[in-house]
Chain A
Amino acid sequence: MTENITLDKVKKGTSIKIIRIPQGDSRIQLLRMGIIEGDKIICLERLPGGTVVIQKNRQEIAVGHSLAKQIMILPE
């Protein structure tokens, strides 16, 4: 069984499933942009320092390190 890890630890290019997004304004913003728990996304880029770029379908979103480390994911 694979263990849940946080989004900031994901390797570039891997497909992942979102398990938990923390409460707060960022959650609402992600919801509006189309990202919710259970979504399958791709980690497009992981910049030095932990800023992550994720992709869902044709949409690309940059997520700051402090938020990425609160988002639980499951590698697919």
Chain B
Amino acid sequence: MRTDSTGIKSKSADASAMQLEIKPETPSNKSEKVVLAGNPNVGKSLVFNYLSGTYVDVSNFPGTTVSVSEGKYKNHTILDTPGVYGVSSFNEEETVTRDILLEADVILNVVNALHLERDLFLTLQLIDLGKPVSVILNFYDEVKKKKIKIDTDALSKLLGVKVFTTSAITKTGFENLDAAIAQAVVSDKIKTDPSKINLEAIQQHGRAIAQLVAEGDDNLARKYQLPYGTPDERELIYLDRRQKVNEIVNEVEYQDDMSGKFFNRLGRWTLNPLTGIPILGLVLVMLYYAIGDFAAQRLVGYTEGVLGKGIFEFYTKSFVGNFTPVEITVNTLDANEEVVKTNIYDFKESISVDPVQKDKFFGDAQGSNKDITFEFKNPVMKLLFGEFGIFSMTITYLIFLLLPLVVCFYFVMAFLEDSGYLPRLATMMDRSLSAIGLNGKAIIPILLGFGCVTMATITTRILGSSREKSIATAILQFVIPCSAQLAVIAALTAKAGPGAVLVYGGVIFAMMITISTILNRFLPGESTPLLIDLPPMRIPRLENILKKMVFRTWGFLKEAGVWFFIGALFVAVLDITGMLVFFQNLLQPVTTGWLKLPGEASTAFVMGVVRRDFGGAGLYDLALAPMQVAVALIVITLFVPCIASFMVMINERGWKEGLLIWFGAWIIAFLVGGLTAQIVI
């Protein structure tokens, strides 16, 4: 039942729509589910923000990565849906949008007034669902600026529902949203030929489900065990709808003035190879400074070193030491990070029972040039708070190292996305990526991989086919060094010189080409072609970027966080049982004989399983010749992914593929590293 929460009846000229409003006025305390729907980039979130105010609950739609915002407006529940071009089950966003729409009492369809031709397709589909709909024509001020005229009364009459105008930039017209909810009606212009729709299905499951099933939504059809439309039948409905959209647009929109605004031109420049490649270069340099330099080094150096290890771990461990035997080593370092003094404090019972030694230890631990390790004697304490402890290393890693990085990455990606550059970047990269069986869209997970391979592996879900997901996952897990590793690689190669950089870079690049070409050649199926809408370039709104950043970071932590803990637990057990040393010893002969590296390097490789940067960090202390550095870095880059990304990969791609990549990494890392060693050392 419809609710008129304002009590104001519309005086609009739209008589045809009014006839349908024969339902009795219900008291305004009736609560309804109001669902916002629209194409991507129509300003849906602005409408949502206006309606829901500050109280917003964001959650992942069950079983998906798609986040759905829920808010309250008066006594209505407002639900935001992902931007889609149509409702069916082509991808995760669509199925989520569809499932929310099926539950809707009122649909607010947000339309970009500049793109009527594109957006009205969805509008007609929503209307065909047979639910009360109001259309919000957003960016209406832009329309006037571009000297386009839209006859909204005519549009309303042709659609059979009310049309309201809003302007996202100047924030006008939003007061109409209340009326838009109150006056939403079921259109009397629902056109899709009823003969195409299963009448029994309408009676049993309602018009919305019957309509979608007739349009060939096989996913929904299976759920309700209905026969569904063939691709041909869907096409007839779609063509019919498209034709109707074109007729409507012809009738309601006048004069089209393509003014050469700066952002329009900027959009063109990004795609013209002459200007686009320098712009791409500029963007990459900016990305490097924002993430590679600022986030991965300065910010993380502070959060991990000072906040994580210096404050969080130090105080947690010295507090725990009050209750259990612990041996603490305090190393004093000089400016070159060389150990100049070592003091060992052995608390046989606990820190608190030995106040003299306690004071000495805390006095010695002062200052930033200290390297302090706690050795708990009790295995349970070791498991929880030791070097790889769940409540020590994992928290430092997750909260103080990974979180700042992930936040920065998501911020930058949201900026690129909202500015309209991301789809253009995908377009520019399309050709190079299609050579290895991917399309331009794959640039998104690959870029994210330089931040955190775990996060990037989750993002491979945006790719069109299982085959593309496999190729992208393999590239990420084998050859893309994550930011934790990049820092180590940068530091070591800076010492080793250009020769090592050349050998390392050359081998890794060749491996990327080899692996992806082989997969592209032998994986069955076909890759999907790039087909992407290029929204106009614009200055993104900080509020929206921050919102996306927070949602995605939270989603990542929720999804991947647990794997970091499980991984740490696994390694802590290996450490306590002595298995870690066993594996290190096992690898030692291969390391010295085949890779021509010092035996201690094997420790670094095994540690790389825990955290990829540990693998590299272990190499710092070894005296390596430049070419040995190159070989060692090749091995740690190609070597098995960290435990968290391994778990996420299993989750995404299944056991078979995950294990294949994992064991493949062992073999390829040592094979390629060794071959390089035989040649260059």
Mark out the residues of chain B between 215 and 267 whose CB falls within 8 Å of any chain A CB in the assembled complex.
231, 234-235, 238-239, 242, 245, 256, 258, 267
Which of A25, A32, A56, A58 has a CB less than 8 Å from the CB of B528? A25
Find chain A residues with CB under 8 A from B122 CB. Answer: 32
CB–CB A34/B245 < 8 A:
yes
The reply to whether B234 and A63 form a contact with Cβ atoms under 8 Å apart is no
The answer to whether B427 touches A51, judged by C-beta atoms less than 8 angstroms apart, is: yes
User: Which chain B residues in 523-557 approach chain A with CB under 8 Å?
Assistant: 527-534
Contact of A32 among B238, B434, B439 (CB under 8 A): B238
B118 at the interface (CB under 8 A from A): yes
* A67–B530 touching, CB < 8 Å: yes
CA A54 to CA B85, docked complex, whole Å: 18
Q: B238, A28: Cβ atoms under 8 Å?
A: yes
In the complex, the answer to whether B431 meets A57 with C-beta atoms within 8 Å is: no
Residues of B within 8 A of A47 (CB): 271, 273, 427-428, 430-431
* Alpha-carbon gap, A29 to B94, bound state (A): 12
Closest residue on chain B to residue A62 by CB atoms = B427
Q: A28-56: contact bitstring with B at CB < 8 Å (1 yes, 0 no)?
A: 11111110100000001101111101001
| 9 intermolecular pairs with C-beta atoms under 8 Å apart | A28-B238, A47-B273, A47-B428, A48-B273, A51-B440, A59-B117, A62-B426, A63-B529, A65-B529
Residues of chain B contacted by A48 (CB below 8 angstroms): 273, 431
Query: Do A49 and B85 touch (CB < 8 A)?
Result: no
Identify which of B242, B267, B432, B434 contacts A66 (C-beta below 8 A): B434
Could you mark each residue 64-75 of chain A with 1 if its beta carbon is under 8 Å from any beta carbon of chain B, else 0? 111110000000
User: Roughly how many angstroms separate A68 CA and B188 CA in the complex, as a whole number?
Assistant: 39
Q: Which of A56, A60, A65: most chain B Cβ within 10 A?
A: A60
Apart from A26-B528, A48-B431: 13 A-B pairs, beta carbons within 8 A = A26-B531, A29-B85, A34-B242, A45-B271, A47-B271, A48-B273, A49-B431, A51-B427, A58-B115, A58-B256, A58-B258, A61-B531, A62-B430
Complexed CA–CA distance, A26 and B268 (Å): 24
B617 CB-CB contact with A under 8 Å: no
Nearest B residue to A53 by beta-carbon distance?
B271
| Assembly CA distance A33 to B122 (angstroms) | 9
Distance to closest chain A CB from B644 (angstroms): 33
Q: Is the CB of B268 within 8 A of A63?
A: no
Closest-CB distance, B113 to chain A (whole angstroms)? 10
Contact A28 B273 (CB under 8 A): no
Is the Cβ of A66 less than 8 Å from the Cβ of B121?
no
Q: Which residues of A contact B582 (CB under 8 A)?
A: none
Interface size counted on chain A using CB atoms at 8 A: 33
Report B499 CB to chain A, min CB distance, Å: 33
Q: Residue-by-residue, is B498-533 near A (CB-CB < 8 Å gives 1, otherwise 0)?
A: 000000000000000000000000000001111111
CB-contact partner of B85 in A23, A32, A44, A68, under 8 A: A32
With beta carbons under 8 angstroms apart, the residue of B432, B527, B528 that contacts A49 is: B432
Q: A32-B86, A50-B431, A53-B271 are in contact. Are A58 and B114 (CB under 8 A)?
A: yes
Tell me how far the C-beta of B257 lies from the nearest C-beta in chain A, rounded to whole angstroms: 10
Q: Which of B118, B234, B268, B440 sits near A44, CB closer than 8 Å?
A: B268
**Residue B90 at the chain A interface, CB threshold 8 Å:** yes
Interface residues of B (CB under 8 A from A): 85-86, 90, 114-115, 117-118, 121-122, 231, 234-235, 238-239, 242, 245, 256, 258, 267-268, 271-273, 423-424, 426-428, 430-432, 434, 439-440, 527-534
A30 to B272, CA, bound (A): 23
User: Once the chains bind, are B90 and A62 in contact (CB under 8 Å)?
Assistant: no
Complexed CA–CA distance, A47 and B270 (Å): 11
Asked whether A63 lies within 8 Å of B431 as measured between CB atoms, the reply is: no
Check if B439 sits within 8 Å of A25, measured CB to CB: no
Give the distance to chain B from A15, nearest Cβ to Cβ, in Å.
Answer: 14
A60 touches B534 (CB 8 A): yes
> What residue of chain B has the Cβ atom nearest to residue A56's Cβ?
B117
Chain B min CB distance to A41 (Å): 12
Residues of B within 8 A of A60 (CB): 267, 533-534
Residue of A nearest to B234 (CB): A28
Contacts of B239 in A (CB 8 A): 31, 36
- Shortest beta-carbon contacts, A-B, top 4: A49-B431, A64-B530, A67-B529, A64-B529
Known contacts: A48-B431, A49-B432. The answer to whether A23 contacts B529 by CB under 8 A is no
* Cα–Cα distance between A26 and B115 once the two chains are bound (Å): 20
Question: In the complex, what distance in Å separates the CA atom of A34 from the CA atom of B423?
Answer: 18
CB neighbours of A28 from chain B (8 A): 86, 90, 234-235, 238
CB distance from B313 to the nearest CB of A (A): 48
Q: List the A side residues contacting B434 at CB < 8 Å.
A: 49, 64-66
Measured between beta carbons, the chain A residues less than 8 angstroms from B234 are: 28
Q: Return chain B residues, CB-CB under 8 Å to A32.
A: 85-86, 118, 121-122, 238
A14 → chain B, closest Cβ, in Å? 16
CB contact under 8 A between A61 and B271, given known A32-B86, A47-B428: no
